[in-house]
Structure 1
Amino acid sequence: MTKRAYKYRFYPTFEQEQLLAQTFGCVRFVYNHILRWRTDEYYKNGNSVNYNAASKQLTELKKNPEYQWLNDVSSVPIQQSLRHQQTSFKNFWEGRAKYPTFKKRHAKQSATFASSAFKFKDGQIFIAKSKEPLSIRWSREPSSEPSSVTISKDRAGRYFVSMLCEFEAKAMPIRNKTVGIDLGLNDLFITSDGEKSGNPRYTKRYKQKLAYLQCQMSKKQEGSSNRAKAKLKVARLHAKIADCRMDATHKASRKLINENQVVCVESLNVKGMIKNPKLAKHIADANWGEFVRQLQYKAEWAERELVQIDRFFPSSKRCSGCGFVHESLPLSIREWECPECKTHHDRDINAALNIKTAGLAGLACGATGTGVAA
């Protein structure tokens, strides 16, 4: 049994919209206020603040007559924001993330309601301080009653509810098929079977429309309602691009997991590669990091194997037939002939074949799940 989040879009009433706006504001204010206090305590006084001290500071803050409006909303989302902040600091201390940053008013807003702040009854969600249920568009049934609910509003003005539920994964039937995949830009992935996925390039597809809307927004006066409307149009187009990209990633990862018992992929340093100014936009649009992440958890749920090989393995420069390795093979060369065995190679298919061979070798040597083969 594991935890799984089910995300749905919902349409709040006017009263719910006002309540959520107030809740988002209180959560953001408390998060930023405590973050500033913790930072000052550490850098000015040398005191390291834990969660309990931050919680006591919140209690003192709510007693202040100047901030009595914090008591107008449920206290649970506010308290949960401190738990999220503590998790952010833990990730920072352990080197997994950067130092926590302040929440912005015009960025994505969210509030988490624990079990004491919401009610799940007859397939409907009721949140604290609201008598009406959320008008949710159910795309599928959740696997169980939610243990917590997170309500969010994106920059395009859309509301979503994410429910954390108990989920029992079911193993898929065993298939006698393995595949190696090479990630690319002309094609999002190329398989060792010679299949090329293509690349929809959603950012490029909507490039002209996005430039037009951004140009229109730049002509509007700062702070005006017309600029706010233009900004919303830009945000909606960005949301559409992101949704299209995520949909394509989900479909591709699901197809690979459904059809193969073992999937071998190269572990790429996406954060490092995206620093290249000439390729950054294309790499971000390819969604490599999210693609591999989805392969990982979907393989785990289906009880199938995902093997990641070392990023320094010369998959493109190595001949999949005889093992000859080129000293240098520029990206501009898409096809080449091995000087040893005279085999003609498609660069990407050859890389996928080498990835499959290395991945299966690593798996045979004891690497399981997301093992790494050198």
Structure 2
Amino acid sequence: MGKNQRKVLKAYKFRIYPTKAQQKFLIQTFGCVRFTYNTLLKQRQFNTIEASKKLTPAALKKEFPFLKLTDSLALANAQRNLARAFQNYYQGRSGHPKMKIKKSTWQSYTTNNQQQTIWLKDNLLKVPKLKQPIAVVCHRKVVGKIKSATITAKNLQQFYVSLLCEEEVCHLPKTKTEIELRFAPNQLVVGNQLKFCRQLCVNDLETKLKKAKRKLEIKAKSAQQRKVRLAEAKNYQKQKLKVQKLYHHKQQQKKAWIDELTMHLIKNYDFLYVEVPKNGIEGSFTLADWQSFLVKLQYKANWYGKKVIFLTAAKTVRKIS
């Protein structure tokens, strides 16, 4: 590996379209992973740490034979995720681990690639325990070696896969230029001599979202007047689904635009000075969007040999990558 090359872990997310039989297997795997996680969590709560460590997914299979039908690596990762959750809790980075519930919007499990048990070819994805590959929409080429795959499902209807790959990246050519960036509520980022042609048009989507939310409120009032529970009101549930789709589309649109913007900045500037926001004024873009922008900007700068520098309110400089 050259001096300007390094190995990084990069994730690729794609929409997958499993058959009915494959969907059944994936949903069963979600349940088994959730059951394993919750059982180990209960054991940890009511027993000592030493006693809890003796209970493993392999031991659970003896008592609960249905676990043998699922991917053993998925169960092992459930145990690893629980251990990481407790580590974060003890170090003050998160709250106490909670039980996973069946009614959650998102369900997922992670499996590892061992001797080509996971592969992607010709828009087909092979994962352990499934004999037939799953249809996948690859909107970009996957580079590098697949390390793991995380299968997720939204409301058990829309299925996705996130492939974690190890690949080599090279430093980008130096441009000997710099730019100062700051948060803008309606543009996300403004800066001196910032030239990024594609602006994100969120006004049309915001208008559709407001109309959809108003219709949802009207249908909710209508259901209340008819004394029908919202869970049983079909028109309300249909409109609720439309609102959720618009929210999801808005999030994906922002995410894709931030990816393009950060890559543009990394390619064209060697030093990126970022001004810390003094207040929390928000518009089309929130401070959460700004934080997402910073995270992407920093790890891409680290990959491609560029520098991100924070400017404090007093204009003092602190190097962060």
TM-score, structure 2 normalization: 0.81
Structure 1 segment 55-204 matched on structure 2, within 5 A: 56-64=55-63, 67-105=64-102, 106-116=104-114, 118-120=117-119, 122=121, 124-155=124-155, 157-193=157-193, 200-201=201-202, 204=206
Deviation per CA, 1:11-55, whole angstroms, max 9, x where unpaired?
Answer: 1111111110111111112212222332333xxxxx3369xx446
Alpha-carbon deviation of 1:118?
3.0
For the 8 Å contact 2:13–2:161, the answer to whether it is kept is yes
RMSD over aligned Cα atoms: 3.2
- Which residue of structure 1 lines up, in the alignment, with residue 3 of structure 2? none
Alpha-carbon deviation of 1:286?
5.9
Q: Could you tell me which amino acid in structure 1 is paired with residue 78 of structure 2?
A: S
**What are structure 2's unaligned runs of at least 5 residues?**
1-6
Q: Report the Cα distance in structure 2 between the residues aligned to 1:232 and 1:55, rounded to whole angstroms.
A: 44
Q: Could you tell me which amino acid in structure 2 is paired with residue 88 of structure 1?
A: A
Q: Residues 6 and 102 from structure 1, CA distance in 2 versus in 1: closer, same or farther, beyond 3 angstroms?
A: same
Q: Could you tell me which amino acid in structure 2 is paired with residue 208 of structure 1?
A: K
- Which residue of structure 2 lines up, in the alignment, with residue 48 of structure 1? 49
Alpha-carbon deviation of 1:158?
2.0
**Larger-Rg structure:** 1
For the 8 Å contact 1:185–1:199, the answer to whether it is kept is no
Deviation per CA, 1:49-101, whole angstroms, max 9, x where unpaired?
Answer: 69xx446254443322xx43222222221121111111122222222222222
- Which residue of structure 2 lines up, in the alignment, with residue 28 of structure 1? 34
- Which residue of structure 1 lines up, in the alignment, with residue 255 of structure 2? 246
For the 8 Å contact 2:196–2:264, the answer to whether it is kept is no
Alpha-carbon deviation of 1:253?
1.4
Alpha-carbon deviation of 1:280?
7.2
Whether 1:301 aligns to 2:310 is no
Q: Which has the higher contact order (CA 8 A, sep 6+)?
A: 2
Q: Could you tell me which amino acid in structure 1 is paired with residue 84 of structure 2?
A: T
For the 8 Å contact 1:6–1:142, the answer to whether it is kept is yes
**What are structure 1's unaligned runs of at least 5 residues?**
42-46, 315-353
Aligned length: 303
For the 8 Å contact 1:189–1:196, the answer to whether it is kept is no
Deviation per CA, 1:245-266, whole angstroms, max 9, x where unpaired?
Answer: 2122112212222221110113
- Which residue of structure 1 lines up, in the alignment, with residue 273 of structure 2? 264
Q: Residues 237 and 33 from structure 1, CA distance in 2 versus in 1: closer, same or farther, beyond 3 angstroms?
A: farther
Q: Could you tell me which amino acid in structure 2 is paired with residue 34 of structure 1?
A: L
Q: Residues 141 and 15 from structure 1, CA distance in 2 versus in 1: closer, same or farther, beyond 3 angstroms?
A: same
Whether 1:39 aligns to 2:45 is yes
Whether 1:210 aligns to 2:213 is yes
For the 8 Å contact 2:200–2:257, the answer to whether it is kept is no
Structure 1 segment 204-353 matched on structure 2, within 5 A: 204-205=206-207, 206-213=209-216, 216=219, 219=223, 221=229, 223-224=231-232, 226=234, 229-267=238-276, 284=286, 287-310=289-312, 313-314=313-314
Q: Report the Cα distance in structure 2 between the residues aligned to 1:33 and 1:128, rounded to whole angstroms.
A: 23
Q: Residues 175 and 195 from structure 1, CA distance in 2 versus in 1: closer, same or farther, beyond 3 angstroms?
A: closer
User: Secondary structure, in 3 states, of the residue corresponding to 1:56?
Assistant: coil
Q: Report the Cα distance in structure 2 between the residues aligned to 1:283 and 1:102, rounded to whole angstroms.
A: 33
For the 8 Å contact 1:8–1:139, the answer to whether it is kept is yes
Alpha-carbon deviation of 1:157?
3.1
Q: Report the Cα distance in structure 1 between the residues aligned to 2:275 and 2:58, rounded to whole angstroms.
A: 49
For the 8 Å contact 1:74–1:129, the answer to whether it is kept is yes
Q: Residues 185 and 211 from structure 1, CA distance in 2 versus in 1: closer, same or farther, beyond 3 angstroms?
A: same
Q: Residues 60 and 204 from structure 1, CA distance in 2 versus in 1: closer, same or farther, beyond 3 angstroms?
A: same
Alpha-carbon deviation of 1:194?
7.1
- Which shifted more, 282-291 or 209-218? 209-218
For the 8 Å contact 1:264–1:309, the answer to whether it is kept is yes
User: Secondary structure, in 3 states, of the residue corresponding to 2:137?
Assistant: coil
Q: Report the Cα distance in structure 2 between the residues aligned to 1:60 and 1:9, rounded to whole angstroms.
A: 34
User: Secondary structure, in 3 states, of the residue corresponding to 2:13?
Assistant: strand
- Which residue of structure 2 lines up, in the alignment, with residue 6 of structure 1? 12
For the 8 Å contact 1:188–1:199, the answer to whether it is kept is no
User: Secondary structure, in 3 states, of the residue corresponding to 1:169?
Assistant: strand
- Indicate the structure with greater strand content: 2
- Which shifted more, 134-143 or 216-225? 216-225
TM-score, structure 1 normalization: 0.71
